[in-house]
Amino acid sequence: MSEKTEFEPRIIGFLCNWCSYAGADLAGVSRIQYPPNIRIIRVMCSGRIDPIFILEALKDGADGVLVAGCHLPSDCHYISGNFKALRRITLLKKVLQDFGIEPERVRLEWVSASEGDKFAAIVRDMVEQIKKLGPNPLKIGGRQYE
Amino acid sequence: MAEKKVGAVLVVGGGVAGIQASLDLADSGFKVYLIDEGASIGGVMAQLDKTFPTNDCSMCILSPKLVATGRHPNITILTNTEILGLNGEAGNFEVKLRKRSRYIIEEKCNGCGLCAQKCPIEAVDMYNGGLSERSAIYVDYPQAVPLKYKIDREKCIGCGTCYEICKAKAVAYDQQDSEATLKVGSIILAPGFEPFDAKLKSEYGYGRYPNVVTSIEFERILSASGPYGGLVLRPSDGEIPKKIAFIQCVGSRDYKLGNNYCSAVCCMYGMKEAVIAKEHTPTKLDATIFYMDLRAYGKEFDAYYNRAREEWGIRFVRSRVASITEDSSTGNLFVHYVEDEKPKTEEFDMVVLSIGMQPPKNVEKIAKVLGIELNKYKFCETKTFSPLETSKPGVFVCGAFSAPKDIPESVAQASGAAAKAMSIIASERGKLVAVKEYPPERDISQEEPRIGVFVCHCGINIGGVVNVPEVVEYAKTLPNVVYAEANLYTCSQDTQKLIREKIQQHNLNRVIVASCTPRTHEPLFRETVQEAGLNPYLFEMANIRDQCSWVHMHEPKEATEKAKDLVRSVVAKAKLLKPLKKPEISVTPVGLIMGGGVSGMTAALELARQGFEVHLVEREKELGGYLRKIYYLLEGDNPKERLDALIKDIMENDKIYVHLNAEVTEISGFVGNFKSKIKHYNGKEEEVEHGIVIVATGATEYKPTEYLYDKDPRVMTQHELEEKIAKGDFKAKNVIMIQCVGARNEERPNCARICCGQAIKNALKIKEIIPETEVYVLYKDIRSYGFKEDYYRKASEKGVLFINYEDSRKPQVRNEKGKLEVTFWEPVIKQEVTIEPDLLILSAATIPNPDNKRVAEMLKVPLTKDGFFLEAHMKLRPVDFATDGVFLCGMAHSPKYIDESIAQACAAAARATTILSKPALEMEGIVANVNEDLCSGCRICEYLCPYGAIEMKQKDDRLVAHVIEALCKGCGACGSACPTKAITMGHFTTEEIIAQVKAALLEVKA
């Protein structure tokens, strides 16, 4: 990586098909601009997100991971997948701390299909926040994980 | 001799009711023509922000239905279309239509929206309640179906900009209106309603004071996609309001205006808007609702009302607002009203008028053309026992056109009307629908992945930001990519052909389209690859428009890099894609109905009319259920005659097997393939096989423990009074009725819905027999919604005294040395009054059948806190359970009137028919699967699955998880929790997702 350029975080976003992915689409339809740092991966439900996906992303150098699903309590297309995501990610954040990774790098958000602006705001905010945190410690020399 | 019947149905009106009716018909083997006068379907629901009582996002739950309707091979949507004439008769109609020009060639328009961006004209955007602007070439809203632009010729200046910029050559300024004739077997009317014109209540200042808005405008203000991005702002100055007033009954319950009826939905949406406004406002917001009676009569509505008061701190003032004036210097509003017999004035920053429902604008023309009768308010005339039939045979009605109603009731009626429309042409099922044939699937199991990538310019929507040729060249360098090219519009007809050709030429076995969103376009491309002999799941999309070029419009370099990353990520997934089978399960075309009341009987008859056999199981020794206790009705029909006729129809129908004195004791299996045990009380047991289950087990009357019931013979329930009147035993000179006995209390917070109607019915009957008898009705809110309001007014006119009581001052009932005394607070004279009635009538709640718990456990379906059955979705799936193949209707769902039960019963039959009419069900291919070698039998997945789709099976000497594909919905919650990674989700496997993550993060060497 070049030393001169400003640090641009790389963020992986796992979005549920029914609400959050639709919200991200609406941001596009409404032409709401946000920084190009996120790479979105579509899953059917936030309940599909295995903590391993997030750990793999961090291991491979993602500076942040966003998981977004349908609003609590009852928007989930699959009844309760959002609650499952909530439990898993709350726990994962505790584990991350033990690994020396700032838990703020992983965010769980609820975005509905009509919240294009909210999705864009989350990405903007996350990019800002991770810029302050700096690069993923796992990819800085000397602390390489592998 | 009647002409041959036609297996097609015309549905008039593309709101949520018309959409639901169309989907049910099309899914049951009938051709559907869905016409709407507007440019897109969706109706008023598409304008709503949230829906009560769950506060679900309206667009989130509606848009999948819009897309399903738009893509259904059996539904033809005709927009900008109206009916000119009707000939023929039920089973064989000829309808003449006029399609107004949209000045756009629909087949060519891709909906890319470039034209609207470049259009120099600004016009008022009615979708946003007139609070924002749109261009002269426009779509109603971003998710519109069909997504075809339209030119507003009144605003268009003909500058030619759109014509020039449209790469698809879709603009046609000289397009003419056209006429067409269709042949259909039946017709469903779902034209919806017209919001009341608030200007007619000039004392409220709408149209003069900018900060007085209608409830529809306020929905748009609340919406994240609305004029202020979901922030609640005052239209006059864009300030955040601190104090909002909601005025109820604007254009409803207004005798002077001629709208005496209640609009049935405004109390709930008013509360919802107040709650959501508070939720959306960062600063403190006071919300006050001015109402006459708070009509939270539906399922779980009172629980919502309680939360609105207690948790959200909404203030409720029982008063009809006299007028509103404005402080012109601040734009604030003074609300003038009377409370406690004293005139009061209060200042607010903003006022929302809860406007009522009116019949559609052109209703008289529709009625004349179709030859149907309207009621005195110009809504469609229907009868209690035929709520879905118009006066013309073969023409049915649903939704707000027959009476003001909310979304779930409209949806239930829509399915019900579909059942009715199908039954007269049941013999023609499947005759006019297209069955698509695909070439045999190519076996790719021995092939290396050969990936083709098609990158879309989308006019300049993508190409104007992302360097598409660069992305194409980059794609060619990726592993396993053997072909890549750019297209102007990948979704256009000619590109579909091209993709099929390239699959053949290059022997592609995976296809990627980098363009817009898979939510709208994946089904189209899957079909395309299937047409070329590939399994439809060997396809993936990279969303480089909605989630790239459109959101990084000023960063072309970064957007191009992102597009490459997205393509690389999807290529990595595509390499691992496997063909998936869509499992087919057979269907036993037989129904099982639990409960032989009016709902169960109606559902049984409707299913039999569709041609299916039905087992109808009733615990009692005779059919009829609750209806047996009803002797007369508010609206005049004779319930006894109707009941006898219904039973006769059932008994004479050779497709219906009636099991009396019997109950279902065991159910196993799943949609299409259930097996049940029916136990007769004489000891006989039989086993039946069936494809669906309808729960119609009804409800029961609460036995009061309060007000000396059972202790004093002069105290009785409404049903007991009704029986007494019917037997001619009624002689009382002085009667008191107490409402909400056993309802709206701590134990049962919800309203029992039908007791107000019962009280009014019996009070009117008393006045009819002995006019001088005094009748007092002590009530909390009179909930005579819809046209029942007329009877409330009539009862008042006949001298029935309606006296309000609050929970803090409930009536007191005593037996004073043999004298029955009722003491209550009279709020007008502000005094306690004691009366000695001859009879005290308790309006006892309708409560859940005590057997519900057993039935719910047997069927593995949920109950509400109150103990009624809980449907799959309170708004859009009112008669479905989350479990496929199990349906619900009547009072088992919640208390309701006879016409509402009948509509739901017809709806349950229609929903069941979508299954029973198919020889086999094709399930979604994306289901979980288990690697049995890895499975440790820990049962975590079984516990997590919200659909009960995982069962444990013995394999050799151990337990392994087994997926019941028919029940799996593909969420993947199981896969993410499996400790040995033995279970995973097809098409979203752990390997595929991790490959996608890794590829997305790969550092690209410049």
pLDDT tens for each residue of B61-115: 787 789 889 889 999 999 999 999 999 999 999 999 999 999 999 999 988 889 9
Across the interface, whether the CB atoms of A33 and B551 are under 8 A apart is answered: yes
Across the interface, whether the CB atoms of A56 and B972 are under 8 A apart is answered: no
| Cβ-Cβ contacts under 8 Å for B995 (sequence gap 6 or more) | B572, B573, B575, B576
pTM of the model: 0.87
B915 is written with which tokens?
Answer: 């299954």
For residue B491, what pLDDT band results from cuts at 50, 70 and 90?
Answer: confident
**Are B458 and B547 contacting, i.e. CB atoms less than 8 angstroms apart?**
no
For residue B873, what pLDDT band results from cuts at 50, 70 and 90?
Answer: confident
CA A79 remoteness from chain centre:
22
The verdict on domain B1-100+177-193+359-438 having CATH code 1.10.10.10 is: no
What pLDDT does B644 receive?
Answer: 97
| Cβ-Cβ contacts under 8 Å for B867 (sequence gap 6 or more) | B847, B848, B852, B853
| Cβ-Cβ contacts under 8 Å for B367 (sequence gap 6 or more) | B373, B374, B380
Please give the ipTM for the structure prediction: 0.95
B291 is written with which tokens?
Answer: 């109402």
Contacts of B969 in chain A (CB under 8 A): 78
What pLDDT does A33 receive?
Answer: 95
Number of Cβ pairs < 8 A linking chain A and chain B = 174
CATH assignment, B927-985: 3.30.70.20
Of B59, B230, B997, the CB nearest to A53: B997
Higher pLDDT, B533 or B434: B533
Distances (CA, A) of A30 to A24, B70, B517: 10, 22, 14
**The pLDDT of residue A1 is above 60:** no
Across the interface, whether the CB atoms of A24 and B546 are under 8 A apart is answered: yes
- In chain B, list all ranges with CATH 3.30.70.20: 927-985
Task: In whole angstroms, give the CA distance from residue B703 to residue B715.
Answer: 12
- In chain B, list all ranges with CATH 3.40.50: 451-576
Task: In whole angstroms, give the CA distance from residue B427 to residue B347.
Answer: 64
Indicate the residue type of B784.
S
Instruction: Please state, as a whole number, how many other Cβ atoms lie within 10 Å of the Cβ of residue B194.
Output: 15
Task: In whole angstroms, give the CA distance from residue B240 to residue B500.
Answer: 55
Coil/strand/helix, residue B675: strand
Sheet holding B510-515, edge to edge: B481-487, B451-456, B510-515, B539-543
Q: What is the pLDDT of residues A41-91, one digit of tens each?
A: 999 999 999 999 999 999 999 999 999 999 988 788 898 999 999 999 999
CA B92 remoteness from chain centre:
30
Task: In whole angstroms, give the CA distance from residue B186 to residue B425.
Answer: 8
Among residues B630, B615, B609, the alpha carbon closest in space to that of B660 is found at: B615
Q: For the residues B635-642, what does the mean pLDDT come to?
A: 94
Indicate the residue type of A96.
L
- In chain B, list all ranges with CATH 3.50.50.60: 1-100+177-193+359-438, 196-358, 587-698+849-916, 701-846
Contacts of B977 in chain A (CB under 8 A): 50, 84
What pLDDT does B2 receive?
Answer: 54
Contacts of A43 in chain B (CB under 8 A): 972, 988, 993
CA atoms within 13 A on the CB side of B376: 7
CATH assignment, B451-576: 3.40.50
What pLDDT does B150 receive?
Answer: 97
Coil/strand/helix, residue B276: helix
Contacts of B998 in chain A (CB under 8 A): 56, 60
CATH assignment, B701-846: 3.50.50.60
Task: In whole angstroms, give the CA distance from residue B886 to residue B676.
Answer: 13
Distances (CA, A) of B151 to A30, B137, B155: 20, 4, 8
Bridging pattern class, strands B50-51 and B56-57: antiparallel
The CATH fold of domain B587-698+849-916: FAD/NAD(P)-binding domain (3.50.50)
Task: In whole angstroms, give the CA distance from residue B589 to residue B693.
Answer: 11
* DSSP state at residue B549: I
Task: In whole angstroms, give the CA distance from residue B200 to residue B924.
Answer: 52
The CATH fold of domain B196-358: FAD/NAD(P)-binding domain (3.50.50)
Q: Give A106 to chain B, closest Cα distance, Å.
A: 15
Q: Taking the CA atoms of chain A, what radius of gyration do you get in angstroms?
A: 15
Select the CATH number that applies to the domain covering B101-176 from these four: 3.30.70, 1.20.1070, 1.20.1300, 1.20.120.
3.30.70
For residue B304, what pLDDT band results from cuts at 50, 70 and 90?
Answer: very high
Alpha carbon dihedral B220, B222, B224, B228, in 10-degree steps, equals 80
**The pLDDT of residue A3 is above 60:** no
Residue of chain A nearest B568, judged by CA positions? A39
Q: What is the pLDDT of residues A107-146, one digit of tens each?
A: 999 998 888 889 999 999 999 999 999 999 987 543 333 3
Residue-averaged pLDDT of chain B: 95
Q: Give A119 to chain B, closest Cα distance, Å.
A: 11
What pLDDT does B1004 receive?
Answer: 55
